[in-house]
Amino acid sequence: MSPRSANPSVPLAFTVTACGLALLLTACGGAGGARGSAGSAGVGDPYFPKAGNGGYDVTHYALDLAYTPDASATLTGTATITARAGVRLSAFDLDFKGMKVESVTVGGRDARWKRDGQELIVRPRSALAEGKLFETTVRYSGVPETLTDPDGSEEGWLPTADGAVALGEPVGSMAWFPGDHHPSDKATYDLSITVPKGLQAVSNGELRAETTNSAGTRTTYRWRTAQPMATYLATVAIGHYDITRTTTKNGLPVYTAVDPKEAVASRAVLASLPRIMEWEEYNFGPYPFSSTGAIVDRRGDAGYALETQNRPFFPGAPDTATLVHELAHQWFGDSVTPRSWRDMWLNEGFATYAEWLWSEDHGGDTAQESFDALYAGTYFDDPAESEAVWAFPPGRPSSAAHISDSPVYERGAMVLHKIRRTVGDDRFYDIVQGWAAAHRHGNADTADFTKYVERMAPGKDFGGIWKDWLYGDGKPAHA
């Protein structure tokens, strides 16, 4: 994500007996007894405790959507969610906020369900055995919501001048499809979206088909994301776009979608995308996905850029630094995804440091000069921004409202530069590339990272870096 400004919540343990849950559920189809455990409503994330769900692991989402950007702005959807039960499961939750649920089936049989805030609580006719792979299908419709984050920014379903865009960090994807909306549960995706003919619909992964109905009024776009993806990285952008398909030197498909009003302003920077990709592969290791690209909507359609998987989203033509930042996220954040939102600096610190490295390699400030300017308080023109860098340690954001603040970005990058100075350039790039490879398509947290660094550089003392720079309050006494 490009820098933006996101209240602490108290973790809530969700426990309910199978019998008690049965009394809560609204019948939608047949009833049935199901002895087992009820999955939890939330995974206890330190900043978003209701996000995600316990008791199962999603392996695949198949989303069949239709949207018309008219006065009604109604989205209709069918979500088929393939998951594996982690325990003998009598009931489970899906995160889903807004819209009307029309039916829920589990394994093709009607299931009982109830809504409670952002929770869609589902009780199958019979318990799901531990280890069982099962399918849940939810049919729904309505006007999807635009959600306001703790930091005041907007996510979820954002109407645009000629369509809409879905942005999900941290929990906005629950506004347009039900699922396990926490970064710790990644899955593959098939997404089809039907829109009025003349509009394009762009999503993650690869476009598998584009078909128009016999009446010539509606076009369906079918996208597939074959590599695991956290739900907050899923997107669909609907509108008028100039579509460009190219490849990089090594044959990687590049798919860009640009609002015509941004075409001229975007042309030069998007032409540099293959060169940026080549540079990032050299520094960070093999690209982890099967395609790349960008979505550029109109300025003002959203308040921030976002590293949506395969093709980042930009509200208006990005500058080169922002493009470098969001593409670096494909390694750090998208492929290596944080285990919880406390680990956000592992996304943003790496992407910010990528900007510093690009500048260093292309005639701008060196990473050391960027580090020194931040420490001296001269990096930003506004003194308040300079002070904000030291508001809290990057490894422990002060609340959900601040996981996208400067300490996570700039001070996170400073942690990486301190590591580089400690181990030297050769070992530092071994660490960076090794980290991306070791956790490719997986999840990791800050403890995983610090242990990895120490293992990769035995004999080096990182205690001061962890204590003063990663977890310490205030500005460290020495740079």
For the cut 80, the answer to whether the pLDDT of residue 141 exceeds it is yes
* Each residue's pLDDT tens digit, 309-330: 999 999 999 999 999 999 999 9
pLDDT of 7 reads: 33
Q: How far is CA 420 from each of CA 429, 432, 472, rounded to the nearest angstrom?
A: 8, 10, 19
pLDDT of 1 reads: 85
Query: What does the pLDDT average to over 263-291?
Result: 98
pLDDT of 8 reads: 32
State how far Cα 66 lies from the chain centre: 23
45 neighbors 438 (Cβ within 8 angstroms): no
Percent of the chain with pLDDT over 90: 92
For the cut 50, the answer to whether the pLDDT of residue 386 exceeds it is yes
pLDDT of 2 reads: 74
For the cut 60, the answer to whether the pLDDT of residue 404 exceeds it is yes
For the cut 60, the answer to whether the pLDDT of residue 291 exceeds it is yes
For the cut 90, the answer to whether the pLDDT of residue 152 exceeds it is yes
* Each residue's pLDDT tens digit, 155-209: 999 999 999 999 999 999 999 999 999 999 999 999 999 999 999 999 999 999 9
176 neighbors 144 (Cβ within 8 angstroms): yes
* Each residue's pLDDT tens digit, 199-234: 999 999 999 999 999 999 999 999 999 999 999 999
Cross-strand partners of 293: 255
pLDDT confidence bin for 473, thresholds 50/70/90: very high
Tell me the pTM.
Answer: 0.93
Q: How many CA atoms lie within 13 A of 377 on its CB side?
A: 8
Determine which helix (DSSP H) or strand (DSSP E) holds 271, and give its type and residue range. Answer: helix 263-271
pLDDT confidence bin for 20, thresholds 50/70/90: very low
- Please report, as a single letter, which amino acid is at residue 216: G
* Each residue's pLDDT tens digit, 34-65: 578 999 999 999 999 999 999 999 999 999 99
232 neighbors 104 (Cβ within 8 angstroms): no
Q: How many CA atoms lie within 13 A of 145 on its CB side?
A: 14
Q: How far is CA 120 from each of CA 80, 100, 326, rounded to the nearest angstrom?
A: 14, 11, 33
For the cut 70, the answer to whether the pLDDT of residue 3 exceeds it is no
Question: Which residue in the block uniquely carries the two structure tokens 């990285």?
Answer: 233
How does the average pLDDT of the chain come out, rounded? 94
Strand residue runs (E) in 163-241: 164-167, 187-196, 200-203, 206-212, 218-229, 236-239
Tell which residue, 303, 343, 325, 324, has the closest CA to residue 442.
Answer: 343
The sign of the CA dihedral 67, 68, 70, 71 is: negative
CA pair distance 388, 377, nearest whole angstrom = 10
pLDDT confidence bin for 116, thresholds 50/70/90: very high
pLDDT of 17 reads: 36
CA pair distance 282, 286, nearest whole angstrom = 8
Tell which residue, 289, 171, 169, has the closest CA to residue 224.
Answer: 289
State how far Cα 72 lies from the chain centre: 28
